[in-house]
Amino acid sequence: GGGSGRRQLRDNLGRSWVKIQEHEALLTNRFLDGVRELPNVVLYGKHATECAARSGTYRSRLPSRTPTFALRIRANNRSNDLAPEAVADWMQRERGVWCASGNFYALDLTETLGLESSGGLVRFGFLHYNTVDEVDRVIEALSLVSNGSLQLPSS
């Protein structure tokens, strides 16, 4: 009867969730490994440094974090960071990379970090439908922004 069909469905769903977590872990680690190599990028939240301290690697402790990342980019030879809105606009307009800027309803956090008055953060997110190539495109675009070769406004 019906019990074995429900059990099979539950087992299939469980295997699907494991595959999704594995894929998102791959995307997360790819992003963290790429960002780690970029100059002037400041990543906020659970990220590679706390994992590196434990294991000597930059592998994320998944599934203890989601594949959503908030960052700022320090302006070369300037006292301020690049304006998050300018970074997000450039990424979308020039590279076709969707990201956003602001506080994402975490006003207390951005105020505590001293980032609210200067535009908040730039946020990227990856899910099960994203590909490794898309993560690489984001890293490539961030590389162009973070190396100081673009003239984006500071915050």
pLDDT at 83: 93
What are the residues whose beta carbons fall under 8 Å from the beta carbon of 100, sequence distance 6 or more? 88, 122, 123
Closest of 137, 53, 62 to residue 94, by C-alpha? 137
User: CA-to-CA distance for 32 and 26, rounded, in angstroms?
Assistant: 10
Nearest CA among 29, 33, 35 for reference residue 143: 35
Give the list of residues 6+ apart from residue 10 with CB closer than 8 angstroms, or none: none
One-letter amino acid for residue 119 of the chain: G
Looking at the DSSP bridge assignments, the partners of residue 101 are: 122
Q: How many CA atoms lie within 13 A of 27 on its CB side?
A: 26
Cα 4 → chain centroid: 41
What's the pLDDT tens digit per position in 110-132?
Answer: 999 999 999 999 999 999 999 99
Average pLDDT over residues 41-68: 60
Look at residue 145 in the predicted model and tell me its pLDDT: 93
Res. 56: pLDDT tops 70: no
- DSSP-derived letter for residue 109 is H
